[in-house]
A and B are shown apart, each in its own frame.
Chain A
Amino acid sequence: MTKAANMTMTGARMVVQALKDHGVEVVFGYPGGAVLPIYDEIFQQNDIRHILVRHEQGAVHMAEGYARSTGKPGVVLVTSGPGATNAVTGLTDALLDSIPLVVLTGQVPTFMIGTDGFQEADTIGITRPCTKHNWLVKDTADLASTIHTAFHVATSGRPGPVLIDIPKDVQFATAQYTTKEISRAPHYQPRVKGDMEQITRLVEMMEAAERPVFYTGGGVINSGPEASRILRELVAGTDFPITSTLMGLGSYPASGKNWLGMLGMHGLYEANLAMHGCDLMINVGARFDDRITGRVKDFSPHSKKAHIDIDPSSINKVIRVDVPIVGDVGNVLADVLALWKSRGSKTNKAGLAKWWKQINEWRAVECLNYKPSTKTIKPQYALQRLEALTKGMDRYITTEVGQHQMWAAQYLGFEDPNRWMTSGGLGTMGYGLPASIGVQIAHPEALVVNVAGEASWLMNMQEMGTAMQFRAPVKQFILNNERLGMVRQWQELLHGERYSHSWSESLPDFVKLAEAFGCKGLKCSDPKDLDDAIMEMIRYDGPVIFDCLVEKHENCFPMIPSGKPHNEMLLGEADTQGVIGAKGAVLV
Chain B
Amino acid sequence: MSALNIKKGSSSHSAYDLRDPNAVVIEQHTLAVLVDNESGVLARVIGLFSGRGYNIDSLTVAEVDHAGHRSRITVVTRGTPQVIEQIKAQLARMVPVHDVHDLTAEGPAVQRELALFKVAGKGDARIEALRLAEIFRANVVDSTLESFVFEITGTPEKIDAFGDLMRPLGLVEIARTGVAALARGV
Judged by a CB distance under 8 angstroms, whether A128 is at the interface is yes
Instruction: Say yes or no: is A496 at the interface (Cβ < 8 Å to chain B).
Output: yes
Least Cβ distance of A163 to chain B in Å? 12
Instruction: Tell me whether A290 and B17 are in contact in the complex, defined as CB-CB below 8 angstroms, given that A187-B98, A494-B12 are known contacts.
Output: yes
CA A543 to CA B86, docked complex, whole Å: 46
Residue total for B at the interface (Cβ-Cβ under 8 A): 32
List residues 39-73 of chain B with CB under 8 A from any CB of chain A: 39-40, 43-44, 47, 51
* A555 in contact with B1 (CB, 8 Å): yes
Complex CA gap A278/B85 in Å reads 27
Residue contact B17 to A494, C-beta cutoff 8 Å: no
Contact of A296 among B21, B44, B95 (CB under 8 A): B21
Contact A294 B17 (CB under 8 A): yes
B82 within 8 A of partner (CB): yes
The answer to whether A248 has its CB under 8 Å from any CB of chain B is: no
The interface residues of chain B lying within 8 Å CB-to-CB of A573 are 1
Given contacts A124-B40, A492-B1, A497-B2, contact A290 B95 (CB under 8 A): no
Determine how close the nearest CB of chain B comes to the CB of A217; give it in whole angstroms: 18
Interface residues in A451-509 (C-beta closer than 8 Å to B): 490, 492-497
Decide: A315 and B89 in contact? CB cutoff 8 A.
yes
Stretch at the interface among A24-32, A129-137, A434-442: A129-137
Contacts of A129 in B (CB 8 A): 47, 51
Most buried by A among B12, B89, B95: B95
Q: Which residues of A contact B13 (CB under 8 A)?
A: 494-495
CA distance A495 to B13 in the complex (A): 7
Q: In residues 19-41 of chain B, which contact A (Cβ within 8 Å)?
A: 19, 21, 39-40
The answer to whether A312 has its CB under 8 Å from any CB of chain B is yes
Check if A562 is an interface residue, CB within 8 A of chain B: yes
B89–A125 CB distance below 8 A: no
> Interface code B82-103, partner A: CB below 8 Å = 1, 0 otherwise?
1001100110111110100000
Contact: A316 with B2, CB < 8 Å? no
A290 touches B1 (CB 8 A): no
Chain B residues whose C-beta falls within 8 Å of the C-beta of A572 in the assembled complex? 1
A563 lies within 8 A of B12 (CB):
yes
Is the Cβ of A562 less than 8 Å from the Cβ of B15? yes
Chain B: minimal CB distance from A128 (Å): 6
Segment with Cβ contacts to A, from B3-11, B139-147, B169-177: B3-11
Interface of chain B, main secondary structure: loop
Interface members, chain A 125-183 (any B CB < 8 Å): 125, 128-129, 132-133, 136, 153, 157-158
B14 partner residues in chain A, CB cutoff 8 A = 562-563
Q: Which residues of B contact A132 (CB under 8 A)?
A: 95
The reply to whether A563 and B17 form a contact with Cβ atoms under 8 Å apart is yes
From A190, A317, A562, A585, give the contact of B17 (CB < 8 A): A562
CB pair A313 B1 closer than 8 Å: no
Q: Does A493 contact B4, Cβ atoms closer than 8 Å? A: yes
Nearest neighbor of B87 in chain A, beta-carbon distance: A313
Q: Please tell me if the beta carbons of B4 and A562 are within 8 angstroms of each other in the complex.
A: no
- The residues of A that contact B15 with a CB separation of less than 8 Å are 490, 562
Q: Which residues of B contact A585 (CB under 8 A)?
A: 1, 3-4
Partner of A494, one of B4, B47, B82, B92: B4
Which residues of A in the span 298-320 have a Cβ within 8 Å of any Cβ on B?
A: 311-313, 315-317, 320
Using Cβ atoms and an 8 Å threshold, which residues of chain B touch A111? Answer: none
Give B151 Cβ to nearest chain A Cβ, in Å: 35
In the complex, are the beta carbons of B4 and A128 less than 8 A apart?
no
5 shortest A-B CB distances, which residue pairs?
A313-B89, A133-B95, A585-B3, A563-B17, A296-B21
Q: Apart from A493-B1, A572-B1, what 10 extra A-B contacts exist at CB < 8 Å? A: A128-B40, A128-B43, A128-B47, A133-B94, A133-B95, A187-B98, A190-B93, A493-B4, A561-B12, A563-B16
